[in-house]
Amino acid sequence: MNDVTKEPNLLDPRERLIVALDFPSADAAMGLVERLQGCCRWFKVGMELYYATGNRVIEGLRERGYDVFLDLKLHDIPNTVAGAVRSVTGEGASLLTIHAGGGERMMRAAAEAANAPGAPKLLAVTVLTSMDEEDLHAVGVAGDPAAQVLRLARLAQAAGIDGLVCSAEEVEAVRAAMGPQARLVVPGIRPTGVGGGDDQRRVASAAEAIARGATMLVVGRPITQAADPAQAAAGILAEIAATL
């Protein structure tokens, strides 16, 4: 098995694109993987696919030479989250998400659990890209998403977390706050000139996100629901390459 803690080659656009396998079955996910013809190196396995297939899908991706971003957004008491991190250690995922909203003690417990051979690097999710200021106010968070993201970013860094998930709207400020070594993963990516049109609120193009300081980009429906997924992925890669 490859070293799951490897760093992406930031000069290779394929290492900076993570395709989201938001499918209900391994067959559907692997069908898309085959159609992409190796034009990316990373795939995201989220809750829908992981709960349906377990570690089998991670194993299948690793056997094909891909890296896995396991997006489980763990959020519970510190002991439970630390146990979950230990449970997935050694299964082959390179990245794993936890919710920054769980607080510093929870994130610190997760970071300690991830300090083991074969453990994935942790990314703290700040404010979901489906949320806007009105959504935050509805759950009792004053201020705008940018302020909340920066607050959680500093908390995550203090807890020893490797990187962050945030939208392109906040990534420049987060990069300035966390420094050049932080791994900043940005979802909500849409092809240039294409808006949200779905449940994503805070979106940007690949070029915009990379220019603002994103390390890696997560792209789902613009690729997975395209008539030609490989061509759609090639378009995103070309945007990334033009920005490097």
> Can you state the percent helix, strand and coil of the chain, rounding each to 5?
45, 15, 40
pLDDT bracket for residue 90 (50, 70, 90): very high
**CA-CA distance, 92 to 78, in Å (whole number)?**
23
Above 70 in pLDDT, residue 49?
Answer: yes
pLDDT at 4 over 90: no
Q: What is the mean predicted confidence (pLDDT) over 101-125?
A: 97
Residue 91 one-letter amino acid: E
Q: What is the pLDDT of residues 189-218, one digit of tens each?
A: 987 655 444 555 567 899 999 999 999 999
pLDDT at res. 193: 54
* pLDDT band at residue 132 using 50, 70 and 90 as cut-offs: confident
How would residue 6 be classed by pLDDT, with cut points 50, 70 and 90? low
Catalytic residue flag (residue 73): yes
Please determine, for residue 72, whether its predicted confidence score (pLDDT) is greater than 60.
yes
Segments of 131-208 assigned E as strands: 163-165, 183-186
pLDDT value of residue 3: 46
Q: What percent of the chain has pLDDT over 70?
A: 93
**145 or 26, greater pLDDT:** 26
State residue 194's pLDDT score. 53
> Is pTM, for the whole model, over 0.85?
yes
- C-alpha span between 160 and 113 (Å, rounded): 11
* Domains delineated in the chain: 13-243 (3.20.20.70)
Percent of the chain surpassing pLDDT 90 = 78
